[in-house]
A = this chain, B = another copy of it.
Amino acid sequence: MRERNKISEKQRNILRFMEGFIDQKGYPPTIRQIGEAVGIDSTSVVNYNLNKLVQAGYLERTGRTSRGIRLVKSSGSRRLSVNPAYNTPRVPLIGQIVASAPVSIPDDMGHHFDEESLIEVPASMLNGVDPSEVFALKVKGDSMIDAMISDGDIVLLRRQDAVKDGDMVAVWLDERGETTLKHFFAEGQRVRLQPAHPTMSPIYVDAAHCHVQGRVLSVLRPSV
């Protein structure tokens, strides 16, 4: 493999223009649009430089296809995408966990929720779970401190009532009248709820009086 990864200033301009164009319009530019943007008067010259960029590994092209150019590597200056179609998964932030109140999960979840309350999450935080099954709750107060979760954290949960032993779950406890996050272990008629903090003791509750609201997938702590 020869050393052909160096690209010219002009070619870098092409990349930058393409990133902005795609981000703004949602589709790639044509050869002529690229030429006009970076000051090349001939379509063949644009074509020539595009092929150079393909050789250098920055682009892929689809022959004889209008706008058939795809970015495969960034030019270095990465901006934030404003095009919602291409963003990370979003999940609805449907409320708060407050120790003294149950979590109410709307039944029609997954179909239409408030556009306002959708938050972005990185795909890696979902562990392969379909984003439409996931919701988020904001932790209010320090009641989850024994689960290593502090005030302001955002907890990502998968809506499910059947859970495996060891799963971290959000459970509503009838006896205490509160929701907590604990590791779940079924032990006969009873359920052992183990705090994440290793020095803290588990609590035991009757299986009939503990309602699993969802399994915790991950925790986000924004802007510490």
Contacts and interface: CB of A to CB of B under 8 A. Distances in A.
Nearest to A68: B27
A142 B198 contact: yes
Given A70-B83, A88-B122, A120-B88, A222 B127 contact: yes
B90 A78 contact: yes
| Total copies of this chain within the assembly | 2
Give the secondary structure class of A's interface: loop
A148 B110 CA distance: 32
Given A123-B80, A132-B78, A218-B221, A85 B71 contact: yes
A149 B23 CA distance: 36
A104 interface: no
Interface in A53-79: 60, 62, 65-74, 76-78
B217 A224 contact: yes
Given A25-B62, A125-B220, A150-B196, A76 B142 contact: no
Contacts of A224: 168, 216-219
A131 interface: yes
A219 B71 CA distance: 30
Interface of A: 19, 22-23, 25-28, 30, 60, 62, 65-74, 76-78, 80-81, 83-90, 110-111, 119-125, 127, 131-132, 142, 145, 148-150, 168, 196-198, 216-224
A81 to B, nearest CB: 6
B26 A70 contact: yes
Contacts of A80: 89, 123
A1 B220 CA distance: 39
